[in-house]
Amino acid sequence: ENGWNITGDIFRQDEDGYFWFVARGDDMIISSGYNIAAIEVESVLLTHKDIQECAVVGLPDEERGMLVCAHIVLKENNKATDEFKSHIQLWFKEVAAPYKYPRIIYFVDELPKTETGKVQRFKLK
């Protein structure tokens, strides 16, 4: 379309005019008017010393449009408490943009994956 290939993916353009991939369009969460890339939230969560792996999805919400929801596999299951959820949320707001924090957190034993190891996000929605 007008010389552009419409992929549905999200890119940003830098000051030199180069385009950089941000996220797949279907992995973008729009919450309270903010565009939040699930992969950005996952990248932050994975820097926490107690998180082994995670997957982030958007869940419908009447007030905000969507809510950021994180499914988290912990390195130690004994930390899967409501207090630890609050800890992760507070920590996230300190190290990243506060509007991106996961308002919903589920601790899971494993993430649903394909035979090749790709997370099946549709099963988390």
93, pLDDT greater than 60: yes
Domain segments of the chain as ranges: 27-124
Q: pLDDT by residue (tens digit) across 32-84?
A: 999 898 989 999 999 999 999 999 999 999 999 999 999 999 998 778 999 99
What pLDDT score was predicted for residue 49?
A: 95
What pLDDT score was predicted for residue 94?
A: 98
Q: What is the DSSP string of 6-71?
A: --S-EEEE-TTS-EEEEE-GGGEEEETTEEEEHHHHHHHHTTSTTEEEEEEEEEEETTTEEEEEEE
Q: What is the CATH number of domain 27-124?
A: 3.30.300.30
Q: Is 27:37 a contact under the CB 8 Å cutoff? A: yes
Report the share of the chain in percent with pLDDT over 90. 65
pTM across the whole model? 0.81
